[in-house]
Amino acid sequence: MTTRVLTIDDHPVLREGIAAMISTDPGMEVVAGAADAETGLEIFRQLLPDVTLMDLQMPGMGGLQGLRALRGEFPAARVIVLTTYRGDANAREAMAAGAAGYLLKSALREELLGCIRTVHAGGRHLSAEVCLDIATHVGDELLTPRETRILQLLSDGKENKRIGTELGISAETVKSHVSRVFGKLGVHNRAEAIRTAIRRGILNRYP
């Protein structure tokens, strides 16, 4: 029986490339493609594909929100996140949202096909690089929502006093939060904190 695949990615060339790779396997076919999560949801409702490949960075709803919406409406949907973003926080969030696979766009054809087979059979698959990222940070203390928000405001270029005003706390309290963020991330300054947070997916640069 043919495994029917839906691709949701805003880059048409990538969708075409994925379709070409999948077409080399006689047991799979791409039944449709969508450029955004909203359209992807509509197509999913119509076609009920076996496996959905979902990008993270897309206009509109975005991949994570689209994943949550799809799994909320179709709890049995089997979704693989196919992305350029490696970070351990990205992968953990996607898997928590219901993804069964997390694959990098740099993956070779055999890994992509193998991932689709595994997920279609009810299993899970993560890229080796992503597994390494997760293993590297196992046991790390997670940032609190307040700390993450402060880090986001730091990345917007705001100083402690302005952050305090926005959050209704003192500049000294902000300074204390920033110090804890540095400690949890293992960094020594704001620039390092922002770079590390973006690399790990704690601060996302996609919708």
Task: Report, in this order, helix, strand and coil percent for the chain, each rounded to 5.
Answer: 50, 15, 35
Residue 207 included in any domain: no
Write down the pLDDT at residue 90: 86
Residue 60 reports pLDDT greater than 90: no
Based on the fold, state whether residues 115 and 184 are members of the same structural domain: no
Q: Is the pLDDT of residue 112 over 80?
A: yes
- Mean pLDDT over 125-129 rounds to 92
Q: Which of 135, 161, 177 is the last residue of a domain?
A: 135
What pLDDT, in 10s, does the model give residues 149-165? 999 999 999 999 999 99
Same domain? For 165 and 128 the reply is no
Last residue of a domain, one of 108, 135, 162: 135
Pair 107, 185 in one domain:
no
The pLDDT score that the predictor gives to residue 205 is 56
Model confidence, pTM: 0.80
| Number of domains forming the structure of the chain | 2
Q: What pLDDT score was predicted for residue 207?
A: 46
Question: Span 129-138, mean pLDDT?
Answer: 86
Q: How far is Cα 6 from Cα 40, in angstroms, rounded to an integer?
A: 8
Which residues form the domain of 88?
A: 3-135
Q: Could you tell me the CATH number of the domain that includes residue 154? A: 1.10.10.10
Average pLDDT over residues 136-151: 87
